[in-house]
Amino acid sequence: MATNTAKHWLSILQASGIIYLLEPYHSNVTKRLVKTPKIYLFDTGLTAYLTEWATPETLEAGAMSGAILETWVVAKLLKSYRHAGRRPPFYYYRDRDGREIDLLLVQDGVIHPLEIKKTASPGRKDVQHFGALERLDIRIGSGGVICLAEQSLPPTMISIPAWAV
């Protein structure tokens, strides 16, 4: 398929709200960042159909369940900004060394890093890549892990229950 044709179809899917392109965060400070957008397919019914998952149990136990949770969280956050009439300040971070942060909220010149994990007990390993932001010339605010915990964890580890998004 020609590149222009693919871009045209992606723009139609994006305009219709079926997909969302999450742009990477980058600054002029570093040239080593990956600059390709991440694509989220918001229609989970279509996702289940295309991957041939017949039951919710298959989806929950499958290898892609973490990616489905990430998509759900991004969609919920995106909707909350759009329903308030605001442009979502969302980006992601990935460098060529493989360090990735699922979601960056950039507000008032401050980056708030978020990881989205399908776990009920996040650990320090889940936020290990937050330190990669220190080399950027920007203020870093509070961040955390959006996860399946039933309640927020102690202040030493910020976790955000997915149901609270």
The tens digit of pLDDT for each residue in 29-46 reads 555 566 788 999 888 778
Return all residues near 88 (Cβ < 8 A) that are at least 6 apart: 77, 78, 81, 82
pLDDT for the residue numbered 64: 84
Q: What's residue 110's pLDDT?
A: 92
Percentage, residues of the chain above pLDDT 90:
39
Nearest to 135 by CA among 22, 24, 26: 26
pLDDT of residue 48: 81
Distance between CA atoms of residues 147 and 128, nearest Å = 16
Residues of the chain with pLDDT under 50: 156
Q: What is the pLDDT of residue 13?
A: 92
Q: Is 5 exposed, middle or buried (0-12, 13-18, 19+ CB in 10 A)?
A: exposed
Q: Determine the longest span between alpha carbons in the chain, in angstroms.
A: 51
**Residue 39: per-residue pLDDT:** 92
Q: What is the pLDDT of residue 105?
A: 94
